[in-house]
Structure 1
Amino acid sequence: MAARIEHLVTSGTFSLDGGTWDVDNNVWIVGDDREVIVIDAAHDAGVIAEAVGGRTLRAVVCTHAHNDHIDAAPDLAARTGGPVLLHPDDLPLWKQTHPERAPDAELADGQVLTVAGVDLTVLHTPGHAPGAVCLYAPALGALFSGDTLFAGGPGATGRSYSHFPTIIDSIRERLLSLPGDTVVHTGHGDTTTIGAEAPHLQDWIVRGR
């Protein structure tokens, strides 16, 4: 059975720096009928576990540790036995949401996660958060960008632990070099492609100064 990409949208809140906002999050499930990984366990562990079903959950991958992307991760791990993976640079953010429960293992730049015969390469893309990562699956023509790159521009950098020049460097150096037809599966909102976003890099820089 060929690997495929499944998509859920879950709703909840994002809180940081004393503010709270209602958000809808994309949850991506990659795998086949036997095994999957979940990318960003947001808000509702029950709904995500139901989508996983009887399949083996190889990992709960966190693209970064803002609460709306990790709030359901420990519960999902407890329900399924899948380990929670996070880049260590985002531990300070993780501890704001889950002070009593650490991730199970670290993500590292260049690390390869394999599920259903498909390799997903971890790309460390700081800027939106210090430990933000994207996952690149060339066999699927897919990039899972978390909140690093959206349809229309880079992720927000106006709050703690974020930095606009850094996210621009991450996008320029790590993402825009990928094939233009790579589909970008984002943390919120619509998908896009590398080719659709690449021509606008200079506009983002001017806007963000």
Structure 2
Amino acid sequence: MTGEARIDHLVTSGTFSLDGGTWEVDNNVWLVGDDREVYVIDAAHDARAIIDAVGDRRLLGILCTHGHDDHVDAAPEVADATGAPILLHPEDEVLWRMRHPRRAPDGRLVEGDVLTVADTELRVLHTPGHSPGAVCLYAPTLTAGAPDEGGLSGVGTLFSGDTLFQGGPGATGRSYSSFPTIIDSIRDRLLTLPAETVVRTGHGDSTTIGAEAPHLEEWIARGH
């Protein structure tokens, strides 16, 4: 019998490179599971720290919200150490291959997939815009809230990768991205979720759907 699902959180540091530029970044790595089994969402930068956070639990998979190198650079090492599969939306394989040309993902994350860990569902939402194969993972029953997240609480958690942040959409100024597409994804796929849903992002602080929804028109105006 598995225990109640919980969320563990790491912040790892490294670089993001695309279109000839390189930037220092801090990434959020999320682990969802219980004392026996767990998923890792975005294996960024520090494989050893991620493996240590998994501990002696069974790692069911490494879920990539998208293929940018800062979100996938540690994935093969974590996979090789644990035997867990790496899952990525197929439309982001072009980005994956920039970082890992000789190692393919092991499986796909596509719209409608439902992954289960510790009796908790993670539903895959395809949310293109930041990248063609960007996905978010929605856990409608996962109770959210932790002291290190400013007291945010609610029922339902969205792991948004780089699609939605506190204060607006993810960046769309580089190759394989589209501002109109990310706005459509946020409007149609994310802002329709319950307002109390806590949004755990790929970088920076968490937020809620209710906090971000009123600002959609402001984001659209800024993007033109």
TM-score (norm 2): 0.93
Aligned twin of 1:97: 99
Deviations 1:95-135 (A, max 9, x none): 00000000000111010010111000000000000000000
Give the corresponding residue for 1:188. Answer: 203
Q: Which runs of 5+ in 1 are unaligned?
A: none
Match status 1:22 vs 2:24: yes
Residue 4 of structure 1: CA displacement?
Answer: 0.3
Find 1:40's aligned residue among 42, 47, 57.
42
How far did 1:20 drift? 0.2
How high is the sequence identity, in percent, across the aligned residues?
73
Tell me how far apart the structure 1 counterparts of residues 214 and 29 of structure 2 sit (CA, whole Å): 27
The separation in 2 between residues aligned to 1:158 and 1:2, in whole angstroms, is: 40
Q: Which runs of 5+ in 2 are unaligned?
A: 143-155
TM-score by length of structure 1 reads: 1.00
Give the RMSD, CA atoms, in angstroms: 0.3
1:126 and 2:119 are equivalent in the alignment: no
Aligned pairs, number: 209
Corresponding residue of 2:64? 62
**C-alpha distance in structure 1 between counterparts of 2:162 and 2:106, whole Å:** 22
Separation in 1, partners of 2:160, 2:133: 13
Paired AA for residue 137 in structure 1: A
Helix, strand or coil for the counterpart of 1:159? coil
Structure 2 matches for 1:193-208, cutoff 5 A? 193-208=208-223
Cα shift at 1:159: 0.1
Please list, as runs of the form range in 1=range in 2, the aligned pairs for 1:72-111 lying within 5 A after superposition: 72-111=74-113
Moved over 2 A (4+): none
Secondary structure of 2:196's aligned partner: coil
Matched, 1:153 2:168: yes
SS at 1:138 equivalent: strand
CA distance in structure 2 between the partners assigned to 1:127 and 1:90 by the alignment: 11
**CA distance, structure 2, for counterparts of residue 23 and residue 127 of structure 1:** 20
Q: Tell me which residue corresponds to 1:4.
A: 6
